[in-house]
Homo-oligomer: A and B are copies of this chain.
Amino acid sequence: MQDALRQFKADFFQALAHPTRIAIIEQLRDGEVSAGTLIERLGIEQANASQHLSVLRAKNILVNRRAGNQVYYSVRDPLIFEVLDIMRRYFNTHLSEVLATLKAIDKAEKRRG
């Protein structure tokens, strides 16, 4: 059971482990958005968008609703936004270190020519 729970968590994180999928979820912060609108806003291929949406659906992170010949997506549980917000705090906390590391690498490369 403990193992099953960890597997579920891992699967969930796996579903979030792609920048396009993060972008999709962020677009849904203020409510449902159609697949077509997502494609337009993110500037990605139609098939690719559909594949990523499929991943998020499979993990029950998104739900969809058909209206005419359009499909509207929304997040199933807004708790997921809390996770993303914490991640932003985490990123901000360590941003200076990240940038320092990047600069150090950059300088070292310039020294080497």
- Give the interface of A toward B (CB within 8 A): 3-14, 16-19, 21-23, 26, 60, 77, 79-80, 82-84, 86-91, 93-94, 97-98, 102
Contacts and interface: CB of A to CB of B under 8 A. Distances in A.
Contacts of A80: 90
Given A77-B90, A90-B80, A9 B19 contact: yes
For the residues of A in contact with B, the DSSP-based class is helix
Contact of A10 (B17, B77, B97): B17
A86 B83 contact: yes
Contact of A90 (B6, B12, B26, B90): B12
Contacts of A3: 19
A87 B83 contact: yes
